[in-house]
Amino acid sequence: MKASDLFVKCLENEGVEYIFGVPGEETIDLTESLRKSKIKFIPTRHEQSAAFMADMYGRLTHKPGVCLATLGPGATNLITGIADAQLDRAPLVAITGQSALEKTHKESHQYIDIVTAFKQFTTWNSKITRPDFIPEIVHKAFDIATDRPGATHIELPEDVAKEETSKEPIIKKNYPHISLLDESELKKAAKMIKESSMPIILAGNGVFRENAASELSRLVQFSGLPVVTTFMGKGAIPADDPHYLGSMGIKDHDHIMCGFEMADLVICVGFDYVEYTPKFWNPDKSKKIIHIHTDHPEIDETYIPDILLVGSIRQTLFSIRQQCDFEKEMHERFQKVRARMKAEIEDYAEDMSFPMKPQKILSDVRETMDRGDILISDVGAHKLWIGRLFPAYEPNTVFISNGLATMGFALPSAIAASIIKPEKKVVAIAGDGGFLMNLQDLETAVRLGCNFVVVIFDDSKYGLIEWHEKKAFNETMGIEFTNPDFVKLAESFGAKGVRLESAEELKPKLAEALKAGGVWILDVPVDYSENIKLTEKLKHNFCEI
């Protein structure tokens, strides 16, 4: 059969449902093969958006999302989205076209060595030089992207795609994942938890990849241990669980940091180093650490675990619960941390000042959404407010670009979430800077009949950079810009737009948009003077309990 047909059969064999991308001259054989397949190809308006959509598919399903681009600029446009998936450990397979092999040893039109370039952004990648190699290379790309969640890449030159081959896809088998935990280490861990005076759990993104949130909740209910999540771990335990202290992820001396200052033992569950560097929560290297993960940890001077429990997170949590013969009552000081966390967003629930405070916007958004609905955060000052305060009640309901912290993430991700989880309401929150970075795919959203709302925090500035500049120098430079009329802009794409004129409008307008369906843009003027107020509050003995 034709090599491109075999390639697509291998993708079908791996369970691929969607491919997001931009076609090109060097990929026409592949797209023709896709046309005859059951895989749905979704053309986007920019390759970066395609990569973000594949990234979100991986986050939501824990199966590799797939994106496609042609050679040269098409391929390089994928890089940001690929790197985002790699650092946040979202399974993704990128496919790029390339010039014919006879051109790749010399200077050629649009040719650059994409395989070498992409090595910096992927766990593994390869060029297909013979059609007979296709089954093994495709299978390996998906296997690695799944087993070591992150990005992989396959390059298919245009001449190889046209060749003939007699090979067939590799037969897939589902092997049981067996993790043999060391019984003695489990007992040591249980003993360490029992003997510690103020233990605390730090839950990260790995909890979701292992579908271990329910087992974590059972351990917490059984043992009484308090839990803090990373920004990417939000929802690992319901925000209304009395053991939940909040989420941490900013450098400033936050209230959750106070909880960590008191802790003598940190039980890291599915925690990846990139989520929040331990130097912020273990600066004096004094804390004992239990590491529970599918992988060995990134070791540095502030993260040297006393016990490693490497294997299935879900099975490990179950086994530890079986070993625990105690129930700890959450320390009164931890209870104060939790009370303050809850109060910080509740205190703004009735604030009707305008432009709106970020805390008030998030309070209204949370109140309007159901527990299982999906919130996607772009990157900007709003991300830090969402990470700190937005309550998540179920796993896989709050998505944040964290490791690479990429502006432009929210709109393409909302498109993918709407396609993959049509039964859920989807709200994307973006700054006015980040929203315009992938605006062109608003057309994609409308063309596909997506249902979601984008809430724009509008301050006509790069608000997060203003925050950092003011903290460092008490002056700002290069952060101001002007915005288009977001309502007219939305309407020009066939979406619906609303600009708020008062704080009272947000909840009813958001509820109306979510009920009506379609693509909506809510332009919400925001008062970011709260940023510096937060910095000052955290400086002045905020952690005294």
DSSP 98-114: E--GGGTTS--TT---H
Across the range 160-179, mean pLDDT stands at 84
Quote the pLDDT of residue 217: 96
Q: Give the whole-angstrom CA distance, residue 102 versus residue 98.
A: 11
Mean pLDDT of 208-212: 92
Q: What's the pTM value of the predicted model, to 2 decimals?
A: 0.95
> How much is the pLDDT for 335?
87
d(CA 415, CA 77): 19
Residues in the chain: 545
545 vs 398 pLDDT, higher one: 398
The two structure tokens encoding residue 90: 């979202």
Q: What is the pLDDT of residue 327?
A: 80
Model confidence at 107: pLDDT above 70: no
Q: Is the dihedral of CA 314, 320, 322, 326 positive or negative?
A: negative
Q: What percent of the chain has pLDDT over 90?
A: 79
Q: Which residues pair with residue 400 across a beta bridge?
A: 377
DSSP for 184-199, please give it: HHHHHHHHHHHH-SSE
Please give the torsion angle defined by the CA atoms of residues 319, 321, 323 and 329, in that order, rounded to the nearest 10 degrees.
Answer: 160
Q: 46 and 16 in contact (C-beta within 8 Å)?
A: no
Task: Average the pLDDT over 468-488 and give the result.
Answer: 93
* 242-282 residue pLDDT tens: 999 999 988 777 767 778 888 999 999 999 999 999 998 99
pLDDT for 179 beyond 70: no
> How many CB atoms lie under 10 A from the CB of residue 370?
11
pLDDT exceeds cutoff 60 at 488: yes
Assign 99 a pLDDT band (cuts: 50, 70, 90). confident
pLDDT of residue 387: 94
pLDDT tier, 188 (very low <50, low <70, confident <90, very high otherwise): very high
Residue 112 has a pLDDT of 85
Tens digit of each residue's pLDDT (9 = 90 or more) over 426-464: 999 999 999 999 999 999 999 999 999 999 999 999 999
Written as six digits, the tokens of 458 are: 């509008």
3-class DSSP assignment, residue 160:
helix
**If you average pLDDT over every residue of the chain, what do you get?**
93
Backbone angles phi, psi at 347, to 5 degrees: -65, -20
What structural domains does the chain harbor?
3-162 (3.40.50.970), 183-337 (3.40.50.1220), 348-538 (3.40.50.970)
**pLDDT score, position 392:** 97
Tokens linked to 441: 């795919």
Structure tokens at 432: 């006015």
pLDDT value at 537 more than 80: no
Tell me the backbone φ, ψ of residue 25, rounded to 5 degrees: -60, -40
Residue pair 54/94 in contact by the 8 Å Cβ criterion: yes
Has residue 543 got a pLDDT over 60? no
Tell me, what's the pLDDT at 328? 81
Q: Does position 228 have pLDDT exceeding 70, yes or no?
A: yes
Q: What band does 110 get if pLDDT is binned at 50, 70 and 90? A: low
User: Closest by alpha carbon to 250, among 400, 410, 56, 455?
Assistant: 400
* CA–CA dist 275, 325 (Å, integer): 32
Tokens 């629930």 correspond to: 349
pLDDT band of residue 113 (cuts 50, 70, 90) is very high
Strand intervals (E) in 405-495: 426-431, 452-458
The mean per-residue pLDDT over the stretch 28-42 comes to 98
Residue among 317, 389, 532, 361 nearest 453 (CA)? 361
Model confidence at 471, pLDDT cuts 50, 70, 90, reads confident
pLDDT at residue 545 tops 60:
no
Measure the CA–CA gap between 100 and 90, rounded to whole angstroms: 31
Amino acid identity, position 212 = A
pLDDT of residue 178: 60
Least confident range from 83-92, 160-169, 321-330: namely 321-330
Instruction: Report the candidate in 148, 163, 143, 130 with the shortest Cα–Cα distance to residue 13.
Output: 143
Q: Is 80 exceeded by the pLDDT of residue 310?
A: yes
According to the model, what pLDDT value does residue 341 have? 83
- Given a cut of 90, whether residue 105 has pLDDT beyond it is no
